[in-house]
A and B are shown apart, each in its own frame.
Chain A
């Protein structure tokens, strides 16, 4: 074999090797459960520990006191915990809205499903606020014409649920027809503009509250519902919300 032949073979091998294919022959799939049979890596746990301690310290700090246990299942069309939520959205949100727009919030509408936990009698911690409101939803105010507010009321009477409301008074008869619907004691006028506070999830069509999309303008307060709850609880050392007559059925 002369030198040229050797080179030729070498380059042949080189080309073959470069293109040496990898053929897929077999695939195996498995799902591995992460459970307490696995011993965690200590260095990872030690890394997490100071973060965990800081979060827990903050979450477990007592910020208020509940006079009773409040659940969204206690009440028919309005509940103490729902009233608490809707009222605090007004109380904490209105000063911000007013300072930005010069207008007051006329009514608040949240959703019954959005209350994710009870508030237990006794100390309330920051963790309670995370349990009641684990989602990141924020307060928005939408301007609705009276005629659209009537759609909102129509939604409430059809839903027959204790969706939390504030500043709106709604009386239904036994057939769930509207007997009286007032805002600040006044009847709703079709052409008036009403400033309705809700959260961004509902504004976006959550719980099929499609009427919010008929708003002329949207005001984003950049204020999370949970933060409003926490701010509110810091203000009051005791809470004692009640079921009232804001949304009721008048039996014949």
Chain B
């Protein structure tokens, strides 16, 4: 991945030098770019589609079909990222028999770019998660799990930056508090850090220091807790922070028919999305960029 970024950057510089000789006119036409973000959450080992007799989700889901959909979107727009918001494991016998190997291998075949870690990804213990890492050709991001005293140390990054068509996209991960959800002997010395504080730091680093055009949070905090308003959730996160463009959520298996538009701490729009569970849906968000400032001056239109 790093190598590819480097090549892209080099190519951009070369193009620029060529332009330089042509004079000012070359800059007159504005350039429009489009980034597509595809996402899943809480797939819970649902690899095969639901059968025709399933009471709730008959004939829905299935990895092979998701693969076809992702591929067609990538053909339409190569500047696409595919992300997952955690709870990849647990839910069908595939997990019990193969411990997550098949899930990671298939996600690699679908060319997932990054995922964060859900509470159920600890269901075979932190060693069980670690043992499956060689099957994952994508990266895990989590900024508020401190794995430094565990076997996962150095295998999870707080964030990852992708460059697509010259657009810099910073993706960071957030996980839910494990105490009470997962037995301590499973997550061992994994330390849970305050997600809102961490997200405040992460978004500042990605937007201000790393100059990302887009900041995406992959969150397994849960959409919102009606009975526990104060509990860290995606909606609370959106409201309490700034510089995040999109929060891709999970955990609460919330089927949002369309992304929620929330105001952040400085009154700017943040999108919060979640596509339920079991791979029944694929979320899609397209971001359109233009180099012409006058077009952006009218504000960003959001069509959901």
Contact = CB atoms under 8 A, between A and B. Distances in A.
A103 to B, nearest CB: 21
A23 B27 CA distance: 15
Given A25-B300, A38-B69, A39-B68, A33 B90 contact: no
Interface in B132-168: 166-167
A213 to B, nearest CB: 12
Interface in A15-38: 16-18, 20-36, 38
Contact of B65 (A26, A30, A34, A200): A34
A44 B290 contact: no
A105 to B, nearest CB: 20
A82 B299 CA distance: 62
Interface in A81-122: none
Contact of A31 (B21, B109, B281): B281
B83 interface: no
B303 A28 contact: yes
Contact of A28 (B96, B185, B285, B289): B285
Given A28-B304, A130-B93, A204-B180, A48 B288 contact: no
A236 interface: no
A57 to B, nearest CB: 11
Nearest to B110: A44
Given A47-B106, A136-B123, A27 B64 contact: no
Interface string B48-88: 11000000000111111111110100000000000000000
B97 A58 contact: yes
Interface residues of A, number: 46
B75 to A, nearest CB: 13
A204 B119 CA distance: 15
Interface stretch (B190-198, B199-207, B226-234, B254-262): B254-262
Nearest to B124: A136
Interface string B170-192: 00000000001001010000000
Contacts of A185: none
A63 to B, nearest CB: 15
A59 interface: yes
B285 A22 contact: no
Contact of B33 (A17, A22, A40): A22
Given A13-B19, A17-B16, A48-B48, A34 B287 contact: no
Nearest to B257: A31
Contacts of B59: 35-36
Contacts of A33: 60, 280-281
Contacts of A52: 47-48
A100 to B, nearest CB: 16
Given A26-B302, A27-B288, A29-B302, 5 more contacts: A21-B291, A22-B167, A22-B291, A29-B303, A30-B258
